[in-house]
Chains A and B, each alone.
Chain A
């Protein structure tokens, strides 16, 4: 007789939710913080601090006006107390980073340098991450960008958003808001009004960017929000792989992170965008943690262009994000690979939109949701095929893994097809880590924690294999660490 299937009990999972957050420290640094509250004056102040041109201030103000008439979206399967937008400070910057203008890598405040070292991101142009250029964003400002000169030799622009506004205003003005307009949604409009920094990338025609570009986002100050904006433009026939990572201190309060990312891929260009999101998730009772309400969208503007989103989401109290692709160019390709892990009281509502406009456009969606403890995980995705998108194809696969009796997984696919030639496939599965799998591993001498991590990583393998090598290992470790203390 087969053994009866036993799933993990509440007591066992109790252990599982006791995870250590390794990046919860606070950097003691003198910070300039704008008083809490949002008004036209605050927006003017931010714009002024950044010495922005009039057109950008006008754009911000239009977004703000728009935002005031909008309501916060409530369709996601997440619940949280009402956010008081007047209790948040919209700009915080380390004094040393903003005084006396931009600094060379050698002149970075030692305290900031130490912070990034502690996070495993050395702000020097050699050592471990020699093949990776880093833009380090600390609260509301970029504090350093490595390998700028080396990249410039190839014509690749990699710098903070603020710098791009000053040095390359024509590019910023041409593309800003063309993928995520300032009117797009509540959080995107808020971001458009108050965004303070972020990264900017431009890869010229025919250039294959020789190193990984990455931005490391760190929230440090309390009672502030982080609103950064990333804009990546891959010109005709170019290639770039970009990665973002993020962490924040452990605090009892919830902090808002409302970012916008816009990608533009022109003819034959390819952008590979990877995220390893490890914002502070809150404690095991759900106190504290980041609200990660993010709008990410890529436009495959040219023929045969290709955008891939890969995300490993293990942090944040609440995740609300749907990295999407507008497949405008004929024969363009959009991909979305996602692992979302929710433990304790974490909630994630994440997925993608693939909008097929051009002919022969193709999209792939692989989503892996892992829920442990009281974690709630929702995949929400849309595949939309417009009338002109002849021969469009989509493959979607959404798998959920449940750990313990109190976790939840939900799948909400929307399919909207207006072209009869379209071919769509959708697969979905839900499984549990069974006591039988765990016992099998333990009988071979493997610790229960190690066993859970092994099973989870196996489940997520198809997505992890899409990450750049340097980060796949990190992500794998993160999935292990996030479930540390899995079973007792």
Chain B
């Protein structure tokens, strides 16, 4: 069976600097994979290039999603096909109501799939439902998108958006950064509840601790723009104990 996400020999430049240097990665449908790596190894670049952000230039290699080359697709086209990125630094959009924003997003995606758009009443009941699952303060859904949210609230808002948008591939870019242990647990529960044979996750993190809560099927080590080692969930524990230097040495 074709993997949901298939990245082959990917080279990516940002502002003329090569960040990814021949990255290979396959994620089958229904699996959760973790990519771990030190600062500057290219983790965020990987997340953004999958989502199609401008300014991330693919110089070589290919990204296939659902068997289709998506390298040339616009970010919104990828999103509508089920790619979701939980941002490391979620952006504030002053004055735009959180619920209104998410309703616009859901309906764009539904429109694309040929489904009828949800009206305000249906959408609100969907939101209420998901908010309860996530132990999310209901006030937050009435406030402007991420405006004045604490770091933890912003991350939880990302997970709320994910649960409402129900993507096929969810990329979590350092979702654990800046979270205290309680918030971390809530975020992890939100993710675990969504795991299914119909959905894959790419969890990008610097630290192993998130992977105690979201136990991955595979762990990949990213270093200097390439996957240098892959293994089962035990690899994360070893990295935690030995540090990234060791992994690099093994492959050097």
Answer whether residue A461 sits at the interface, using C-beta atoms and an 8 A cutoff. yes
Identify which of B15, B84, B94 gathers the most chain A CB atoms within 10 Å of its CB. B94
Chain B residues closer than 8 Å to A2, beta-carbon distance: 89
Chain B 223-248 interface residues, beta-carbon cutoff 8 Å to A: none
- With contacts A1-B44, A3-B44, A445-B112 taken as known, whether A440 is within 8 angstroms of B91 at the C-beta atoms is yes
Known: A455-B96, A462-B95. A444 touches B79 (CB 8 A): yes
A262 within 8 A of B: no
Contacting pair A443 B85 (CB below 8 A):
yes
Number of B interface residues at 8 Å Cβ cutoff, please give it.
Answer: 35
- Once the chains are docked, how many angstroms separate the CA of A1 from the CA of B54? 18
Selected interface stretch from B27-35, B100-108, B125-133, B190-198: B100-108
Nearest A residue (CB) for B144 = A458
B108 and A460 form a contact (CB under 8 A): no
Whether, in the assembled complex, A459 has its beta carbon less than 8 Å from a beta carbon of chain B, the answer is yes
Given known A-B contacts A1-B39, A458-B144, A446 and B105 have beta carbons under 8 A apart: yes
| Size class of the A contact interface (CB-based, 8 Å) | 20 to 34
Which residues of chain A come closer than 8 Å to B39, judged between CB atoms?
1
Tell whether, in the assembled complex, residue B44 and residue A454 are in contact, meaning their CB atoms are under 8 Å apart.
Answer: no
CA of A461 to CA of B40, assembled, Å: 39
| Nearest CB on A from B208, distance (A) | 20
B214 at the A interface (CB under 8 A): no
Interface string of B84-126 (1 = CB under 8 A from A): 1101011101111000011011001100100000000000000
Q: A445-B80, A445-B112, A448-B76 are in contact. Are A458 and B104 (CB under 8 A)?
A: no
Main secondary structure of the interface of A (DSSP, over half): helix
Q: Choose from A443, A445, A458 the contact partner of B94 (Cβ within 8 Å).
A: A458
Residues of A within 8 A of B200 (CB): none
CB-nearest residue of chain B to A401: B94
Q: Which residues of B contact A434 (CB under 8 A)?
A: 91
Chain A residues contacting B144 (CB-CB under 8 Å) are 458
Q: Does A439 touch B at the CB level, under 8 Å?
A: yes
Which residues of B, 200-236, contact A by the 8 Å Cβ criterion?
none
Decide if B87 touches A459 in the complex (CB within 8 Å).
no
Interface contact A442-B74, CB-CB below 8 Å = yes
Question: Are A445 and B108 closer than 8 Å at their CB atoms?
Answer: yes
What mask results when residues 52 to 93 of chain B are scored 1 for a CB within 8 Å of chain A, else 0?
A: 011100000000000000000011100110001101011101
User: Inside 8 A of B145's CB, which chain A residues have their CB?
Assistant: 458
Contact B53 A439 (CB under 8 A): yes
Q: What is the minimal beta-carbon distance from A473 to any residue of chain B, in angstroms?
A: 13
Q: How far is the CB of A19 from chain B (nearest CB, A)?
A: 21
- Assuming A445-B80, A455-B93, is B54 touching A439 (CB within 8 A)? yes
List the A side residues contacting B53 at CB < 8 Å: 439, 443
CB distance A442 to B75 under 8 Å? yes
Point out the residue from B51, B90, B95 that lies within 8 Å of A458, measured CB to CB: B95
Q: Which of A6, A435, A447, A461 contacts B76 (CB 8 A)?
A: A447
Main secondary structure of the interface of B (DSSP, over half): mixed
A370 to B109, CA, bound (A): 29
* A437 adjacent to B93 (CB under 8 Å): yes
Contact B105 A444 (CB under 8 A): yes
Compute how far the CA of A4 lies from the CA of B87 in the bound complex, rounded to whole angstroms: 14
B87, A446: Cβ atoms closer than 8 Å: no
Q: For B104, what are the chain A residues with a Cβ–Cβ distance below 8 Å? A: 444, 446, 450, 454
| Residues of the B chain whose Cβ atoms lie less than 8 Å from the Cβ of A446 | 76, 104-105, 108
Q: Is B165 an interface residue (CB 8 A)?
A: yes
Does B161 have its Cβ within 8 Å of any Cβ on chain A? yes
Q: Are A3 and B89 in contact (CB under 8 A)?
A: yes
Question: A460 — which chain B residues lie within 8 A by C-beta?
Answer: 95
Q: Determine whether A457 belongs to the interface, using a CB cutoff of 8 Å to chain B.
A: yes
Task: Determine whether the beta carbon of B94 is less than 8 Å from that of A459.
Answer: yes
Bound-state Cα–Cα, A236 to B200, Å? 68
Alpha-carbon distance A151/B206, docked complex (angstroms): 70
Q: Contact between B90 and A440 (Cβ–Cβ < 8 Å)?
A: yes
Question: CA A39 – CA B101 in complex, angstroms?
Answer: 57
Query: Which residue of B has the minimal Cβ distance to A12?
Result: B54
| One of B15, B40, B51, B55 near A443 (C-beta < 8 A) | B51
Which A-chain residue is minimally distant from B39 (CB atoms)? A1
Q: Are B55 and A6 in contact (CB under 8 A)?
A: yes
Enumerate chain B residues within 8 angstroms of A455, measured Cβ to Cβ.
93, 96
Q: Is A167 in contact with chain B by the CB < 8 A criterion?
A: no
Task: Give B141-161 as 1s and 0s: 1 = Cβ < 8 Å from A's Cβ atoms.
Answer: 000110000000000000001
Which of B48, B53, B84 has most chain A Cβ within 10 Å? Answer: B53
A28 within 8 Å of B (CB atoms): no
Taken together as a complex, chains A and B put the C-alpha atoms of A230 and B183 apart, in Å, by 59
Q: Is the CB of A457 within 8 A of B96?
A: yes
A-B contact pairs, 28 of them (CB 8 A): A1-B39, A1-B44, A435-B54, A435-B55, A437-B91, A439-B54, A439-B75, A441-B93, A442-B74, A443-B51, A443-B76, A443-B85, A443-B87, A445-B76, A445-B79, A445-B109, A445-B112, A446-B104, A450-B108, A454-B104, A455-B96, A457-B95, A457-B96, A458-B93, A458-B94, A458-B96, A459-B95, A462-B95
> Nearest 4 A-B pairs (CB), nearest first?
A458-B95, A458-B96, A444-B105, A461-B95
Interface set of B (CB-CB < 8 Å, partner A): 15, 39-40, 44, 48, 51, 53-55, 74-76, 79-80, 84-85, 87, 89-91, 93-96, 101-102, 104-105, 108-109, 112, 144-145, 161, 165
Q: A439-B51, A442-B75 are in contact. List 18 more A-B contacts (CB 8 A).
A: A4-B15, A436-B91, A439-B53, A440-B91, A441-B105, A442-B76, A443-B79, A444-B102, A444-B104, A444-B108, A445-B112, A450-B104, A454-B93, A454-B104, A455-B93, A458-B96, A459-B94, A461-B95
